[in-house]
A and B are shown apart, each in its own frame.
Chain A
Amino acid sequence: MHIVVCMKQVPDSAQIRVHPVTNTIMRQGVPTIINPYDLFAIEEALRLRQKFGGAVTILTMGPPSAEDSLRKALSFGADRAVLLTDRFFAGADTLATTYALATAIRKIGVEFGPPHVVFTGKQTIDGDTAQVGPGVAKRLGLMQLTYVSHIDNVDLEAGTIDVERRSEGGVQKLRSKMPCLISVLEGVNEMRIGSLSDALAAARATIIKWSAQDAGVEDITKCGLRGSPTIVKRVFAPKPRAEKAQFIELGDKPGDVFVDELFKRRPKLESELGHLTRGY
């Protein structure tokens, strides 16, 4: 069984700061990590390989420094890592990103065998769009199974796969066909600690690096900024409310003073809270 995992290296958003005066992002020194949602996808891929044999290929698009995250993924036990890196990919929105990733996955299929399953995380923590998985599935004609919480069964002979997926208000049990794209819900598994031999192998491994041309991109105008239908025209910090918060001093009876002040300023709240607490 051949499994491809699409992964992204992202800035650790907990550590991004905005310059207080210029309102620009201070990126310097912000460490990068594997997108946390992608760890669930990698683990799910490794579990499938454990059960059915085969290989796990990790794919990422990004700057040359994304090699760090690929090595990390290899240390968990993945078999190979492909880094799609080219200045033509820079500034890609989700549509242009799906074009590049789909092209690379086709090439991976030619080089290492066509994938049965392509995994992604639910979304990234920097873009938060959840659009790249569905886009890759559409471009490759893969069955699309998003927000999957459990893989119930894989029948390699029949080519079917049964999954549970989170849907609005419940869980859908679906039977679909491979090849398929699965986006994995967060929290459904726990990432393993890689073995020492995997860690050593990861340190020595050769990361496969493909430019747009290497990956087989036929139309460079569909990549990066040029291939992106969306345009970011303005990035800005939100305006503070016209009036800032009014500060209240609570003195030595803070609870009572607070409640008095609150009900004085918002008289209706007293009866509303009364209703809520008494259940009518």
Chain B
Amino acid sequence: MNDTAKAPAPAGRAAAKKELPEHLKAYKHVWVFIEQERGQAHPVSWELMGAGRILADKLGVNLAAVVVGARNEATQAVVRESFNYGADLAYLVADDILTDYRNESYTKAMTDLVNAYQPEILLLGATILGRDLAGSVATTLLTGLTADCTELDVDAEGSLAATRPTFGGSLLCTIFTLNYRPQMATVRPRVMPMPERVEKPLGRVIEHPLGLVEDDIVTKVLSFLPDRDSTKSNLAFADVVVAGGLGLGSPENFQLIRQLASTIGAEFGCSRPLVQKGWVSSDRQIGQTGKTIRPKLYIAAGISGAIQHRVGVEGADYIVAINTDKNAPIFDFAHVGIVTDAVRLLPALTEAFSKRLSPHQRDRLAS
């Protein structure tokens, strides 16, 4: 993946696309790594299947799901499910050594598969697991990897065009891996829409051996402590989200965001500066380096709308922005804008919603 602080390549170099080296021409088809831990497929993998389907159709090639895991029923279920999300075929490395994610074993499984079956594009989720794995696989294969893409496409010559925010999220850039294969990219959860699940019969599954025994692997898992559910924020999957930014002025005012959120049954979030200032914990951050949200309603209060934030909220059905600056970039992508001080408006909103949504009020209106 590209270090984004780098300037765009000089036109001469970028334009000088050489013919793909002969030994790389055999690389065909689009692969999606299906991330699963303890028998549970990560939703980002199905989102990537949706994106991968579009790329494969444009290129006229197959879409393959790549499943790596323990040799058990749960792994088989993930393989079957991958066909319901559009796989033309699946590659499977099943071995009980792969029960827990470990970098050594998973990197071996993925690089062996790539070397044996030669995909032109390999997509992974930009999760903790995916980021740990993708960097190792790309370095082992000595190919290009683009992290946290917000848009994937193929150009007229069939190369993967991977777009991501750059310069700390103030601009976008499109990155190509022209003369190396596979072209690798990661995408964060919820950035791509979830495709429709369509029941399909099990298709072709190609099994590949891991070729490792437990003694070959240095790192041992001593234990795994699952997170308690109560510590997880449900931001990424919330139907309604209210978030605050620097326009709130002080950490105390963030309380206004929480109050409105709790009144309308929303999750609350914030923009990056509030996390950097320590006002709000990082699991509440919305944007490229935080959570990507796709709610039915998003209310952004005192957030200017830098690209870093924008790419995390563009999937929202309806965006309401409150900002004192009528030229703030957030009004370029919000549906409705209110030019005012959020600190003054928020309590009024909380009160009005509370009145309108309270069961008491409803009953009174109905009678």
Contact = CB atoms under 8 A, between A and B. Distances in A.
A126 B142 CA distance: 23
A230 B146 contact: yes
A129 B289 CA distance: 10
Contacts of A138: 107, 135-136, 139-140
Given A133-B135, A162-B222, A166-B128, A233 B8 contact: yes
A173 B352 contact: no
Interface stretch (B76-84, B248-256, B355-363): B355-363
A250 B168 contact: no
Contacts of B364: none
B42 A277 contact: no
Contacts of A95: 138-139, 142-145
A224 to B, nearest CB: 10
Contacts of A167: 37, 101, 128-129, 224
B243 to A, nearest CB: 16
Nearest to B42: A168
A135 B145 CA distance: 11
Contacts of A92: 3, 6
Nearest to B162: A230
Nearest to A135: B139
B225 A234 contact: no
B128 A276 contact: no
A184 to B, nearest CB: 14
A174 B321 CA distance: 45
B273 interface: yes
A232 B162 CA distance: 10
Nearest to A254: B348
Given A244-B331, A272-B296, A93 B148 contact: no
B343 interface: no
A57 B337 CA distance: 52
Contacts of B148: 128-129
A245 interface: yes
B134 to A, nearest CB: 7
Nearest to B133: A134
A11 interface: yes
Contact of B136 (A144, A176, A256): A144
Q: Which of A91, A176, A236, A273 has the most CB of B within 10 A?
A: A273
B166 to A, nearest CB: 6
A97 B6 CA distance: 12
B132 A232 contact: no
A32 to B, nearest CB: 11
Interface string A166-188: 11111111111100000000110
Contact of B171 (A23, A254, A262): A23
A168 B232 CA distance: 12
B7 interface: yes
Contact of A276 (B5, B100, B264, B355): B264
Nearest to B101: A167
Contact of B147 (A98, A128, A177): A128
Contact of A130 (B135, B296, B340): B135
Interface residues of B, number: 107
Interface residues of A, number: 92
A240 B225 contact: no
Nearest to B100: A172
A127 interface: yes
A255 B319 CA distance: 17
A248 interface: yes
A270 B19 CA distance: 57
Contacts of B145: 94-95, 129, 131, 230
Interface in B76-117: 100-101, 103-104, 107
A119 interface: no
Residue of B2, B129, B170, B239 ringed by the most chain A CB atoms within 10 A: B2
Contacts of B239: 272, 276
B247 interface: no
B7 A277 contact: no
Given A230-B1, A245-B335, A16 B168 contact: yes
A88 B136 CA distance: 24
A177 B217 CA distance: 10
A94 to B, nearest CB: 5
Interface string A224-248: 0100111111111110110011111
B175 A230 contact: yes
A14 interface: yes
A238 B172 CA distance: 7
Interface stretch (B26-34, B50-58, B177-185, B208-216): B177-185
> Nearest 3 CB-CB pairs, A to B?
A276-B265, A13-B168, A255-B352
Given A175-B222, A272-B296, 10 more contacts: A131-B1, A131-B147, A134-B132, A144-B132, A144-B136, A162-B222, A170-B224, A231-B178, A245-B336, A272-B239
5 contacts: A127-B147, A129-B135, A232-B9, A255-B353, A273-B297
Interface of B: 1-9, 13-14, 35, 37, 42, 100-101, 103-104, 107, 127-129, 131-132, 134-136, 138-140, 142-148, 161, 165-180, 218-227, 239-240, 263-266, 273, 276, 282, 288-289, 296-297, 307, 310, 318-321, 326, 330-340, 345, 348-353, 355-357, 359, 362
Interface of A: 10-11, 13-14, 16-18, 23, 25, 36, 91-95, 97-98, 124-135, 137-139, 143-147, 162, 166-177, 186-187, 225, 228-238, 240-241, 244-248, 250, 254-256, 258-259, 261-262, 265-266, 268-270, 272-279
